[in-house]
A = this chain, B = another copy of it.
Amino acid sequence: MSSPRKVLIIGGVAAGPKTAARLRRLDPTAEITIVEKGHFISYAGCSLPYYVAGVVKEQKELVSTALGVPRDPAFFQKSLNVKVLTHTEATRIDRAARRVEVRDANGTRSLDYDVLVLATGVKPVVPKLPGVNLPNVFTLHRIEDAEGIKAILSEGKAEPKATPVHYFEHPAPHRNAVIIGGGLIGVEMAEALAHWGCRVTIVEMLPQILPMLDWEMARLVQRHMESKGIRVLTGTTAKSIEGKDRADAVVVEGERLPAELIVIAVGVRPNSDLARDAGIEIGVTGAIQVDGGMHTSDPSIYAVGDCAEDHNLVSGLPMFLSNGANANKKGRVAANNIAGRDDQFPGVVGSAVCKVFDFAVARTGLTEKQARDLRYEAETCIVPAPDKVHHYPGMKSIILKLIADKATRKLLGAQGVGAGEVAKRMDVLATALVAGMTVDQIANLDLCYAPPFSAPLDNVLVAANVLRNKLDGLMHGISPIEVRGKLEGGEDFLFLDVRTPAEFEAGHIPDTKLIPLGALRDKLAELPRDKEIIAFCQISLRAYSAERILRASGFTRIRVMDGGFAAWPYEKVTRKP
**Which residues on A are within 8 Å of B, measured CB to CB?**
14, 24-26, 28-29, 44, 46-47, 50, 55-56, 61-62, 64-67, 78-81, 313, 323-329, 332, 341, 345-346, 348-355, 360, 362, 364, 386, 389-393, 421, 423-424, 426-428, 430-432, 434-435, 437, 441, 443-454, 456-458, 461, 465, 472, 474, 500, 503, 517-518, 521, 538, 544-545, 548-549, 552
Contacts and interface: CB of A to CB of B under 8 A. Distances in A.
Contacts of A332: 465
Nearest to A451: B47
Contact of A44 (B79, B391, B500): B391
B446 A349 contact: yes
Contact of A323 (B352, B355, B449): B449
A517 B79 contact: yes
Given A325-B457, A548-B25, A390 B66 contact: yes
Nearest to A549: B28
A434 B441 contact: yes
B392 A56 contact: yes
A439 to B, nearest CB: 13
A449 B28 CA distance: 31
A325 B449 contact: yes
B445 A431 contact: yes
Q: Of A345, A428, A454, A500, which is in contact with the most chain B CB atoms at under 10 Å from its CB?
A: A428
Each complex incorporates copies of this chain amounting to 2
Contacts of A28: 548-549, 552
A467 B61 CA distance: 29
A430 B29 CA distance: 40
A568 to B, nearest CB: 18
A392 B62 CA distance: 10
Nearest to A522: B78
Contacts of A66: 386, 390
Nearest to A67: B500
B450 A355 contact: yes
B448 A324 contact: no
B46 A423 contact: no
A461 B326 CA distance: 11
A56 B391 contact: yes
Contact of A346 (B81, B354, B441): B441
Contacts of A461: 325, 329
B55 A392 contact: yes
A503 B67 contact: yes
A81 B426 CA distance: 36
Contacts of A44: 389, 391, 451
A576 to B, nearest CB: 22
Contacts of A61: 391
Interface pairs A-B: 7 shortest CB-CB: A28-B552, A435-B435, A353-B448, A424-B424, A61-B391, A325-B449, A66-B390
A453 B424 CA distance: 9
A348 B446 contact: yes
Contacts of A446: 313, 325-326, 348-351, 364, 430, 434
